Amino acid sequence: MTAPQNPLLNDRDVDFLLYEVLDAPRLCALPYFADHARETFDLYLQSSRRLAREVLFPTYRPVDASPPRFEGGAVAVHPALKQVFRPLVELGMLTATRPAAVGGQQLPLVVATLAGAYLMAANLSACGYLGLTTGAAHLIEAFGDDALKATFMTRMYAGEWTGTMALTEPQAGSSLADVQTRAAKTDAGHYLVRGSKIFISGGDHDLTENIVHLTLARIEGAPQGIKGVSLFAVPKRRIEAGQLVPNDVEVAGMIHKIGWRGLPSLAMSFGERGDCHGYLVGSPHQGIAYMFQMMNEARIMVGVNATATASAAYQEALGYALARPQGRRLGAKDPQAPQVPIIEHADVRRMLLRQKAIVEGSLALVATTAMYADLADHAADAEERARAQRLLDLLTPIAKTFPAEKGFESNALALQVHGGYGYSSEYLPEAWLRDQKLNAIHEGTTGIQGLDLLGRKAVAGGGAALVALGGEIQRAIGKAQRAGVEPAWGERLGAAMALVDEVTAHLAEAGMRGDVERMLRHSADYMELASTVVVAWQWLAMAAAAREGLAAGASPAGFYEGKLCAAQYWFSTELPRVEALAARCRSGEDSYARMQPAWF
């Protein structure tokens, strides 16, 4: 039994999304993307695919098996990461979407996102260093002064230095209002930073000579709470007299994670000797507002990682199911008949189809979200930019959460398809399952994302984002009808979106009465409700494109039939769940709300 080589993602799926569903080349009509065309998109995709499959993927297992070591106060990573870091930089992963003025390629985010999914599927830890660096450098690009850009941003975009986001503290967790790290201004213009951070991904390593921590801290005398938090660039080593010298940034300990094992998660100490120089980014007390740029970019990145991790496992399970002979078809009478591949068994196809529906629905979701980011930044019309921004804001917590939560379920099914072999470290699905679990926590837990979606994004501006989403869904329904998609699917989606609107209004009314607890009590259920509907929208859009492909005689026909089968699955098995979820949200069922700690 020899399974085919894992492609990580299906190239045809990616091309289908870019060119048949989203029509990404239309972005090239915008001035920012004018130097691009489908040819440049394909060139970047092909380079990413080749690097992912030939260079990165062979390093995944050894890096997972031998995580970074914390010795003598410093972190040393697996040698394979040093071998792949520079090729990733040379590909342009750090600056693909950034302006030419800072060394970027001005590539649409939707293209970079799908290309990056291959790299993440191949070795997510290796990509993590670069993703964090881009996000940190973009903060300095957006809010830093010229001196900070010259000192830090240029070196980070060049891959000479890396970056992190240093937010979380031991006593605060996700509650950034409780940040206690302090910054005292000096006569020289810099600040002396002192405090502790924890769970800092990529906080120390030996890939580059320096690491720049984008750090939240409270200037002495600042107001309490969110409004008193500022943003600083705090390097591991600072420049003095043209030389890099230690900056009183130390590793206090390493967290031994179950997944993402090539990217160290660290406890960090700043200023124990009173000599940690930090450099203010932007204006004082605006740190949280600034950092949300990086956090929102990182949320989408986590969603792409989750999609990629689920995809790699799905492709592995599919290859295994095609190659693994076991048993005979139901109803077979001859015990001497040859065994059949397990994909011939209906329950295996059930598990594979669910994975396909989750993975390809997630891929469409993150690609669509990235497309709105492109339009929010670069559309020619101000109203179109504002509308795209509303949709981006609404979809970001969904694009982070759905791939992470449902991706974990998909990963578990991939393991199950492998049977007993799946429960061993000799096969890869268990490693991807471990990786995937972290995505439900990265960049805000699922609970936090649900609170953000319902408490902020869905009700902002009187529900303007939901109105925009409803408009997009109605356009998709119209296109599906014209393409000849099953009419009932559009009807069900329209009814489900109306249900989301009704539930949102009902819960918002409770919030307006001052009963915020009642409004947000079932925010996790609301997230699942909204996610299920949004992914149904994605599947309807893909079904319409599939029908158009079949009508045009495009090949292979089986590819399009597979899309229609997966869409049927979503509309038949998943979308019907929204009524129960909506009823739960409306009811205010309070079992866990009224449960007292002493009753457990």
What is the tens place of the pLDDT at every residue in 243-295? 999 999 999 999 999 999 999 999 999 999 999 999 999 999 999 999 989 88
| Residue 134, both tokens | 């881009």
| Residue 195, both tokens | 């405090």
More confident residue, 330 or 32: 32
Q: Strand 191-201 relative to strand 277-280: parallel, antiparallel, unpaired? A: antiparallel
Provide the angle, in degrees to the nearest 10, between the axes of the packed helices 346-378 and 523-551.
90
Q: How far apart are CA 140 and CA 150, in angstroms?
A: 10
Average pLDDT, the chain: 96
Q: What's the pLDDT score for residue 178?
A: 84
Q: What is each CA distance from 531 to 145, 487, 574, in whole angstroms? A: 39, 22, 11
Q: What's the pLDDT score for residue 262?
A: 98
pLDDT (tens digit, 9 = 90+) per residue, 554-591? 999 999 999 999 999 999 999 999 999 999 999 999 99
pLDDT (tens digit, 9 = 90+) per residue, 532-555? 999 999 999 999 999 999 999 999
CB contact burial 57-96 (16+ within 10 A = b; e otherwise): bebbeebbeebbebeeeebbbbebbeebbeebbebbbbbb
- Which amino acid, one-letter code, is at 509? E
Report the candidate in 299, 290, 592 with the shortest Cα–Cα distance to residue 449: 299
H/E stretch holding 594 reads helix 591-594
Residue 220 phi/psi, 5° resolution? -55, 130
pLDDT above 80 for 431: yes
CB 225 within 8 A of CB 302: no
pLDDT above 80 for 468: yes
Please give the positions annotated as active site: 443
Report the candidate in 281, 258, 276, 21 with the shortest Cα–Cα distance to residue 125: 258
324-328, Cβ contacts within 8 angstroms, sequence gap of 24 or more: 324/1, 324/3, 325/1, 326/419
pLDDT above 70 for 1: no
487-491, Cβ contacts within 8 angstroms, sequence gap of 24 or more: 488/571, 489/540, 489/543, 489/567, 489/571, 490/540
Residue 196 phi/psi, 5° resolution? -125, 145
Q: What's the pLDDT score for residue 172?
A: 80
pLDDT above 80 for 3: no
Q: What is each CA distance from 591 to 278, 522, 584, 594, 600, in whole angstroms? A: 48, 11, 12, 6, 12
pLDDT (tens digit, 9 = 90+) per residue, 381-391? 999 999 999 99
pLDDT above 80 for 422: yes
Q: How far apart are CA 229 and CA 217, in angstroms?
A: 6
Question: How many of the other CB atoms lie within 10 Å of CB of 555?
Answer: 10
Q: How far apart are CA 195 and CA 232, in angstroms?
A: 13
H/E stretch holding 194 reads strand 191-201
Question: How many of the other CB atoms lie within 10 Å of CB of 29?
Answer: 9
Q: How far apart are CA 22 and CA 104, in angstroms?
A: 24
Q: What's the pLDDT score for residue 174?
A: 75
pLDDT band at 335 (very low <50, low <70, confident <90, very high): confident
Q: Strand 211-219 relative to strand 162-166: parallel, antiparallel, unpaired? A: parallel
H/E stretch holding 238 reads strand 237-240
Work out the average pLDDT over 59-63. Answer: 98
Of 192-196, 329-333, 336-340, 596-600, minimum mean pLDDT range: 329-333
pLDDT (tens digit, 9 = 90+) per residue, 154-200? 999 999 999 999 999 988 877 777 889 999 999 999 999 999 999 99
Provide the angle, in degrees to the nearest 10, between the axes of the packed helices 346-378 and 287-323.
150
Q: How far apart are CA 561 and CA 564, in angstroms?
A: 5
Neighbouring C-alpha atoms within 13 Å toward the C-beta of 563 = 29
Report the candidate in 467, 247, 318 with the shortest Cα–Cα distance to residue 8: 318
Going through 324-471 in order, the beta strands assigned E by DSSP cover none
Q: How far apart are CA 559 and CA 12, in angstroms?
A: 8
CB 118 within 8 A of CB 101: no
